[in-house]
Amino acid sequence: MRNRNILLVLIPPLAVCRFGCAGCCAAPIGVFWLAGIVSFIYAFFGGPTGVDGISFGTLLFGAVLWGIAVIWAKTVIRNAQQNPERCQDQATSLCQKLAAEEDEDPLETARKLREGN
């Protein structure tokens, strides 16, 4: 649960891929998340107005975009857990490789992916 929440806040599209219904929303959540990261970086270069120093408006815009991605991902994960039968056919091949299993050892998963199994 703790790892899921950390992943949800730091990398929302990956959290949706692992714990939610990725076929529905992983790509648009990823767009919001990446736009938030770009806005954060752009803010330190003056933003669209080219101010000297940090553009706090652009920084706030990035935080809002990131927040939207986190809230959207949390909603998708919660809905996928409440109705798991709706998401069985919607997983992409990448997300199937990243699918979470409760008792699975992460190092064993890495070994399987490296060996191609």
- Here the tokens at position 88 are 């069985």
Of all residues in the chain, the percent with pLDDT exceeding 70 is 76
* Poorest-pLDDT segment among 62-76, 78-92, 98-112: 98-112
- Mean pLDDT, residues 57-86 taken together: 89
**Cα separation, 47 vs 50, whole angstroms:** 5
Give the model confidence (pLDDT) of 14-65 as tens digits. 888 888 776 667 888 999 999 999 999 999 999 998 899 999 999 999 999 9
**Cα separation, 4 vs 18, whole angstroms:** 9
Cα–Cα nearest to 63, from 81, 41, 89, 88: 41
For residues 67 and 109, the model is more confident at 67
Of all residues in the chain, the percent with pLDDT exceeding 90 is 39
